[in-house]
Amino acid sequence: MTLDEIIKSRRDTRHFTQDEVPDQVIQKALQAGHYSPSVGLTDATKYYLIKSAEIKKAVKELFLDYDQKASNLTDDEGQKSQYKSLKLEAIEEAPLGLVICYDRSVLNNFTIGTVGSNEAIKFSAVCAAQNIWLSLTEQGYSMGWVSILNYYQFKKLLGLPENIEPLGYFCVGKPATNYDNQPMLQQLNWKQKQETPCVEEILFSFPVLVPESLRRTAPSHSSDSELSEALQQKIGNKTKPTGSLGLLESLAKQIGTVFHTLEPKITNPNIVVFAGDHGIASHGVSAYPQDVTRQMVNNFLEGGAAINVFCKQNNIGLTIVDAGVNYDFPTNANLVSAKIGKGTQSFLQSPAMSQTELDLCFAKGAAIINTIFERGCNCIGFGEMGIGNTSTASVLMSVLMELPIEDCVGKGTGVIGDKLIQKQNILKTALENYNGSDDLQSKLAYFGGFEIMQMTGGMLQAKENNMLILVDGFICSIAFLIAYKMNPSVKENAIFCHSSAEQGHQKILDYLNVQPLLQLDLRLGEGTGCAVAFPIIQSAVCFLNEMASFESAGISKK
């Protein structure tokens, strides 16, 4: 057969004979897979053979469970009936099972070709799968790809370690039919494949439009003096000594002022966690590998992180945003996809992002918060996740507050001793290497992070919507500091939930002249400080609205 004939006759096979697959056939096919392109020569593709009838049966049960869920995705009874009639696997019939995987642990070391996307290792494994398919076809055998599986359970069933990610289960054997020389789904009239590829030349690039409200520097607006006086009088008339509720009193006054009412109410509170990867992480500034960002986002989605626990405890809505994680999450994952890119570039020698990407961050962050606002939320908390983002935040702090980098860098994920000094030196070099313009936008693009800039855009939009803005720790405060530089009046709506254990955080709070609600030595991020502080914010609202006055309680004043 010619190469062209082999390519044309390759089929996703679902019908097999009972003939065994000789060892030399599968070994030749796997060697063909090994010859496929491998990003950075990582050898990240791994293979597992399955001949056990018991294991095949268990995999088949996983398939049947998800196959039922798949058929329920359509309300078209004709389509549902047609789907159920399709044979989509041959797990128990095929003489050999093959699991093709890729090893994510190779990303713990610098790998050429993965800076823009660590999904390149998955692409390598897909190339290997195609080579195996073509080799089997040339030898008179074939393969069928089964992907309708719960991959979490699939990995558990096979005992695969966390770092090993399967593409799916592949049925291998001698084909029992050629499907009339066409794809099986086409033969069964599920859908017709077009004769030629879809090709289009891109002739123009398009500018990113940013709402004007996020570009202007707005003056600070003084609050309505009559409302302020009325709130103060209401607080002063509660059955307590003057000032005895301390910070709760000023908090209640602030909330009433923001909402323009003597009886404020918090509705549908929500915390948004923005996640993104950072190119600077490749230089060893974190105690954890970059892939932990992806792992933690999955943890958020599965409900296992601290922010999940605290939001559930306090009845707070939680939104997870992929602002720029170096991973392609499934399209059916319960997260907001606002990906600008698969991580920023390293700002050690070049800009982290372009001006267009910065503008897109502001626009996407604003749109996310506006969507939540339109669902009836008037209190929004901000959280983040991103390996390397304390380094990004430290450099931004140094630039924005004109402080030495040594005064801004903290432990982050747990970098101490010589590693902390190394972190400081790397960031100091990055600052020294900067030779761009002196304006704020240029510096934000050069040193920024996708999730930090989306938070900034979100905070500015929250101010436009007159929402309460809950600020978490060090990194969120940097996002707020940028928002404050762009629109100082945003401070009127902000509640700073805690003072972080990161050494730079208290300096930011002092610079802004604000008092945090808590001091618990937190430095987790994720918006956890917002969630933990929320009951205190609710207490301020409750005492303002429900506590008796001296007159209503018949109690004499001082």
Give catalytic residues, as residue numbers. Answer: 526
Task: Give the SS3 label for residue 161.
Answer: coil
**Among candidate residues 20, 32, 27, the one with its CA nearest the CA of residue 96:** 20
- In 289-364 the beta strands, taken as DSSP E runs, fall at 317-324, 336-337
Q: Which residues pair with 549 in a beta bridge?
A: 238
Q: Are strands 142-146 and 164-173 parallel, antiparallel or unpaired?
A: antiparallel
Phi first, then psi, for residue 544 (nearest 5°) are: -65, -40
176 membership: H or E segment, kind and range: none
Residues with Cβ within 8 Å of residue 211, at least 6 apart in sequence: 362, 363, 366, 461
Q: Which two tokens stand for residue 26?
A: 């599968």
> Do 276 and 325 meet the contact criterion of CB atoms below 8 Å apart?
yes
277 membership: H or E segment, kind and range: none
Using alpha carbons only, give the angle 456, 460, 466 rounded to the nearest 5 degrees: 140
Residue 505 CA to residue 79 CA, distance in Å, equals 57
Indicate the DSSP class of residue 16: B
Task: Give the SS3 label for residue 517.
Answer: coil
> Do 63 and 149 meet the contact criterion of CB atoms below 8 Å apart?
yes
- Terminal Cα-to-Cα distance of the chain (whole angstroms): 101
Task: Give the SS3 label for residue 111.
Answer: coil
> Do 120 and 114 meet the contact criterion of CB atoms below 8 Å apart?
yes
